Structure 1
Amino acid sequence: MRPTLDEIFDEPDEFGLLDVKLRSGRAAAGTDKGLQVIGQVNAFVATHGRAPSVEAADHDEMRLAIIWAAIAKDPSAQVIEADMHGLLSPPTQPQPSWRDEPLAEAVPDSLDDIFDDDELDVDPSLITLRHTTAAVYRHQPDHRADFVPCRDFEQYRARFEQMQAMLEEGEREATPVKKWAVLEPLEGDFFIRNGLLALIAEKSEMTTRGGSRDHRLRVIFSNATESDPLMSSFRKSLNDDKTARMVQKVGLGPLDPDWEADQLEMTGTIYVARSRSDDPTISEQRMILHKIGVTSQDVQRRVADARNDPTFLLAPVEIVATYSLKNLPRRRVEQLLHKFFAAARPAELQVADRFGRKVHPKEWFYVLPEHVGQAAKLIGDGTLHQFYYDVSNQEIRRKADV
């Protein structure tokens, strides 16, 4: 029969195997070992300016930090005396934790309070805005393409009724506008936007807007309203409208005679504008330098956003003369006038847009308003080709008189 443990321990311990003396934690750490470790820690702090970290990527530093943490829990008097950097001195106040809720008075009320702090030494270059456009030069349109009543809607009513009938009878097809499609609307084109037929009644001169070339449109809707958005804005509105449609043209392509069946040959207005720019190079010749344009919409609405339009020299303008067109294509009339006065176009005229790029408007001429009126009358009579503009004498002369 085997003896039990109690019987075994009750037997005499003739070899002293059970005579075990427990050692204290301080003794376990070892005074000599503690002095050795504090020496290594002192050297580490002198080199790196900090105590070793248990989270260090370096294995030797991490090992030293673990050993030092064990000794620092119960250091001997010799270890405390050898502490050259006060690592074992109790902190004067507990270090705050990011987990603690901040005091109400410690939370700044504004950015000014932060930057006004005397203890905050910030390089001025870090809080100084650079490469930004001053507020006075930013694009701040005073004209919005709002919907307004179309005063001459009766001139277009028949076209809307005809197009609606053809769509219902299947003679015309309305196809969806593809997402992000780059459309180039022309005068006479029809679209469906927000459930309304939309007619492109006018596509004005090309201009530079926001660094890209663009056109101002006159869009008339079947509910007798109109708007004058930029072509890029109108294109975006079609892309944003999931129900938008484009009414297909008649014919097979630009070479087909029926392709231009929708083109408008409506009446309009020739206008002569004078710049109110403060630029000395422009203001000095204000009374002789004029812009010649043709529009089908209200002239004042056409020039409402002049100060943001490079076509108008990025400045407000005043209308000094207008001349009515009857049964003449606006675009063709504008081309004839610009070609007729081409010799009076200032070659040096240019303006810098808000991005600093040079823009050379082509619609400005050294002419008087009455010269434009005479040319408009000659266009109406069909005799403009018999005359030319004499720049040196500033008068319109018949070619036979040369």
Structure 2
Amino acid sequence: MANMFTDDDDALLSELGIEVEKKKQVARTPREERIIAGFEDIQKFVAEHGRLPRHSEDGDIFERLYAVRLQRLRELPEAAALLADLDADGLLSGAEVTPVADDLDDDALLAALGVEVEASPITELKHVRSNAERKEAEDIANRQRCEDFETFQPLFEKVQRELESGQRETRPFELKAEIQKGRLFIVEGQKAYVAEMGEETLTDQGRTDARLRVIFDNGTESRMLMRSLQRALNKDESGRRITDSVAGPLFADAPEEGDSTTGTIYVLRSKSDHPMVSENRDVVHKIGVTTLGVEKRIAGAHLQPTFLMAPVEVVATYELYNINQTRLENLIHRIFGTAKLDIEIPDRFGRPVTAREWFLVPLFVIDEAVQKIKDGTITKFRYDPEQASLVSHP
């Protein structure tokens, strides 16, 4: 007798008289798969927190994203049919979601999460990321209050002063090896200090990783992975590494071996007949830095708005070596920022132009500031217009 059974389960059940219901294999479009995946993220949040996601300014970025997504799904006609079998808890027709601000839509929230948006996700809900990518973003977004921030705040203040004085620089982030305990970075517009670094481990892909304690200058911290910080720095176009402090004087007043960049701080007095200038001529000075000769810099001053469309007199020059022109100018302008004088004058064509780099500062104070720039102590001082002198930082 021939064997009436086969290895096929469906055929076997059929021979036994049991009716088999064939399951339909439903083919989903990529867009439908993304909608379903996005909805499952919302369901997971509800299961973990026992409530719908809310949109609030101080809320977690992912909760805000889920709130936006749920609101969009409720407005999407095809979502009701697509998600009907999955929506056992009635999320699409249940309680209201906290209204979403018009200026914080899905685009803005996705951008804050570092997700590149190619098309409007309001109706398409694109770019649902892998669990690994989401975990890395959570490491950056999910920060908590740094309870001992008072021990780190002086460091951030010192680093800021050293950046302004030129003792530190910022450079593009390049290698994961740059992430070490004690290093400083700029990520998402905030300074980040690697306060602790755990033991290095190997990922499933054979790459090194380690758990970090990263302190941010806004008083928060994150226990993120090294690879998460690396990814955030690489994705942030303005992500930077802050170099170590360079000890000693900021600039030299005599060349040393290897010095090649020579610059000059120049102080000018205008011969303009502008009322503001003529009434305060002895204290109205233009302070600038040039790596060219000063005479070349001021040639044709009477034709340039930056020189008030008038001849100028050179009242002081200070030659320095091994300088960064832009950084030095920024430092000088920060010191005397409280005495900055913006004068609007007509250019050769009669158009109003605001001349900058002019300050209401006595010459002897400028001389004192330059000496403090040379010896590296200028970061401890600021200019007080009322006292017409440099004073220590409070």
- TM-score, structure 1 normalization: 0.33
- TM-score, structure 2 normalization: 0.34
Larger radius of gyration: 1
